[in-house]
Chains A and B, each alone.
Chain A
Amino acid sequence: MSSTLSPQPVRARTARHGILSLGLSRIGFEIKLYFRSTDTVFFTFLFPFIMLGIFTAAFSAQGNIGTNPDGSGGISVGAYYLPGMLAAGMLLSGLQNLAIDIAGEKGDGTLKRLGGTPLSPLSYFIGKIGQVLVTGILQAVLLLIVARFVFNIALPTDPEKWLTFAWVFLLGVITCAFLGIALSALPRSGRSASAVVIPIVLVLQFISGVYLQFNALPEWMQNIAGLFPLKWMAQGMRAVFLPETFAAQEQNGAWELGLVALALLIWLVVGLVGSRLSFRWIRKDA
């Protein structure tokens, strides 16, 4: 340890960095740490791939889904589950990832340390949302590539479908990110975060048409699922990736993209307000 530090340069203190530029500098740092966390890579990033593989392997023998009485038509099990896995990926990359990540950072002192620096909470949020967007998009693109080239699932060719995909994905993943920030206030310690967050995420996936065929669920369960955002993200994704004939199997016999947008916007507002109200660098005493 050499104890020599160069003295203060003879110049006035330069201006503090802007909130946006610090936020952008956080994104790269956050993404780097995301991919260094084995837990996150496995349970958030790779999980939809694993589940798609398991479902395809487990149920392919039962034949196609939605075949006509004469045995024609229908789609493979993988093709049927792909929209659900994309929706699950959005939920995991946004809500599960941030709720556990931020609760952990609160628990281990990272937030307290950042709270003592000239970093605005807004820049911190930009870093987190950016991390979710980049990792979520990467996950979705890889999932689509795997679906197309490993599971041989035909993808839509109609640009209008991809436009729907883009807005459902972006709106859904950003909504989930803010809900994750809000939910991070719930666990009482960083260590209990997974135990609090994962059951919520798991139950939502079961009732919202990710693991189980949504049209096979009892109506009361469909109605409960309709109160939460995942159902709407899955429905939006089905509208993109399933043939038009499958619209008849939806709860109201249509894709209802307007309702998808409305439900996600309402949850986005809930997430924004919840994040704004609950976020603290540290748990302040009374």
Chain B
Amino acid sequence: MTTSTPAVRVARLSKSYGDFDAVSDISFDIMPGETFALLGPNGAGKSSTIEILEGYRDRSEGDITVLGVDPQHGGLDWKARIGIVLQSSGESGNATVVEQLRHFAGLYPNPRPVDEVIAAVGLEAKAKTRIHKLSGGQQRRVDVALGIIGRPELLFLDEPTTGFDPEARHQFWDLIRSLKAEGTTILLTTHNLDEAAELSDRAGIIVGGQLIDIGAIGELGGPAARTPMVRWRDASGARHETRTDSPARLVAELAADAGGEPAELQVIRPSLEDIYLGLVRRHAATTSNPENAEVLA
């Protein structure tokens, strides 16, 4: 029993465009201070979902509250409490980084200091450069800066690190951790599963408009999906692969039997990416082959 109400509450959300059901019957909650990742292939319905929550699109069915407000009727006071990093921006950008941030800071009642945000996204050296002259990754950092300048309670990040080099991505992760530490609620979509694993507390996986799994990052896919795998080659040269919950014991036995090091020994714990791919493939198999659905489920 928690005393706080969810920051985001999505109940039986559906969205169709004509005959096409982009989102079907999705439900999830995000608690205050939580970072929740929406994962899924391109075209799965992640962006439709997030744009409905941001107030950009109207839903077809379902009940939604975002910070206690129906986003379809979110007024300016509500918008002052959220921050949005859209999936792509193609702004011509005749303003400089600092001008753009100063202007957007002025739109919010309680903005963060501009210099601090510029430093947080690592653009101090580019502060006086016009945005259209920045590289794609640097422009993306401006997008992130504009998303957090208003000191949002709830931050939407739609594929925020597209175009980031690895160093920038790790710095971005640090930035998000500091926002989390401040208590910001975050809804993240990303194709980078390391990113989802690093940042989020829970995740939902959307495929074909349906939520096929949801749970804590460490529990997605169920216990079976994360059973460690031991691989080795025996004395006769044959390859072996065994899934076991006690890999250390198996390795010890192998070592005892072989009287030394088993050849090419590997103990593999499935990464979030392995688990995610397994779930998506399994879902694709069930939907393309409905008779098999029961067997695979």
Question: What residues make up the interface of A, taking CB atoms closer than 8 Å to B?
Answer: 1-9, 13-17, 22, 25, 29, 32-33, 36-37, 104, 107-110, 112-113, 115-120, 281-282, 284-286
Contact = CB atoms under 8 A, between A and B. Distances in A.
The list of the 5 closest CB pairs from A to B, nearest first, reads: A1-B122, A3-B174, A1-B171, A118-B80, A116-B84
B178 A118 contact: no
A113 B86 contact: yes
Nearest to A282: B56
Contact of A16 (B76, B121, B178, B179): B76
B86 A117 contact: no
Given A14-B109, A286-B17, 12 more contacts: A1-B168, A5-B116, A13-B110, A14-B110, A32-B95, A108-B89, A108-B90, A112-B86, A113-B91, A116-B84, A284-B58, A285-B57
Given A1-B119, A6-B112, A17-B109, A118 B76 contact: yes
B151 interface: yes
Contacts of B121: 1
Contact of A1 (B106, B120, B183): B120
Contacts of A282: 56
Interface of B: 17-18, 54-58, 76-77, 79-80, 82, 84, 86, 88-92, 94-95, 99, 103-104, 106-110, 112-113, 116-117, 119-122, 130, 146, 148, 150-151, 168, 171-172, 174-175, 177-179, 182-183
A225 B33 CA distance: 62
19 contacts: A1-B119, A2-B119, A3-B120, A3-B177, A4-B178, A5-B178, A13-B110, A22-B106, A32-B95, A36-B130, A108-B89, A113-B86, A116-B84, A117-B79, A117-B150, A118-B79, A120-B76, A285-B57, A286-B17
A117 B99 contact: no
Given A13-B109, A25-B103, A7 B182 contact: yes
B95 A33 contact: yes
A8 B182 contact: yes
B140 to A, nearest CB: 13
A17 B107 contact: yes
B89 A5 contact: no
B120 A4 contact: yes
Contact of A116 (B82, B95, B110, B182): B82
A93 to B, nearest CB: 18
Given A4-B178, A13-B110, A22-B106, A36 B94 contact: yes
Given A8-B151, A22-B106, A22-B107, A113 B92 contact: no
